[in-house]
Structure 1
Amino acid sequence: MRKYETIFILHPSLDEEAFKANVEKFKGVIENGGGVIENVDVWGKRKLAYEINKINEGYYTLVNFSANPELPKELDRVFRISDAVVRHIIVKNEQ
C-alpha cells in the first residue's frame, strides 16, 4: 500500500450538513476501496488564491490515506462527477 494525500475544495454555498455529507462520501470511497484513512484535516471556509468560475472562496479539506494504486483513480473519478467539488488534487507521498 502506498501513502497518498488529497486536498479538495467544496462549493461555498453548501450548508454544514451538506459539507459534512460530502466529506463522509469521499471518506467512504477511500474506505470501501480498501484504503486506510490516517488523518482528516478540515481547514474550513477560506478565500481562494484566484477566482474559479466566479467563486472566490470554498471549504478546504485535507485527507491523508494509504491505498493500493488503483484507488486514487476511482477517487479522482468521484471528485470529477461531484457537483460540490470546485477543485481537487491527489498526490503520492514519497515517504
Structure 2
Amino acid sequence: MRKYEVMVIIDPDVDDRQVTPLVEKHLKTITDGQGTVDNVDVWGKRRLAYEINKKPEGTYVVLNLTAEPAVVQEMDRLMTIDEQIMRTKVMRPDAH
C-alpha cells in the first residue's frame, strides 16, 4: 500500500451539490480495492492557468489516498473516461 495525492479538476458546469457524490462514486473504486481515503479537500471553483475544453475555470478537489498502485491506476482511468472530470493528476508525496 502506498500513499497518493490526487488532484481532480471537475467541469464548472457541475453543480456544487453534485461534486461530493461525483467524487465519492470514484472513491468507491479505492475502497472496493481495500484502499483507504485519508482526506477529501474540496477547494471549490478556481480560475485555470489556461482553458480546458474552452472553460476558464474548474472545481478543484484534492484527494489523499492509501492504496495499491493498480487500484489508483484504475480509478484514474475511470475518472479520465468521466465527461464531468476535466483533468486528474496522481502524485506520490513520499517519492522524491
TM-score by length of 2: 0.91
Give the secondary structure class of the aligned counterpart of 1:31. helix
Aligned residues: 95
AA at the equivalent of 1:2: R
Q: Gaps spanning 5+ residues in structure 1: where? A: none
Partner of 2:3: 3
Runs of 4+ in 1 over 6 A off after TM superposition: none
1:24 aligns with 2:34: no
TM-superposed CA distance for 1:4, in Å, is 0.5
TM-superposed CA distance for 1:38, in Å, is 0.9
TM-score by length of 1: 0.92
Give deviations 1:7-58, integer Å, cap 9, x for gaps: 0000001113322221111221211121111111110011111111211001
> In the alignment, is the contact (CA less than 8 A) between 2:43 and 2:60 conserved in 1?
yes
TM-superposed CA distance for 1:71, in Å, is 1.0
C-alpha distance in 2 between matches for 1:53 and 1:68: 31
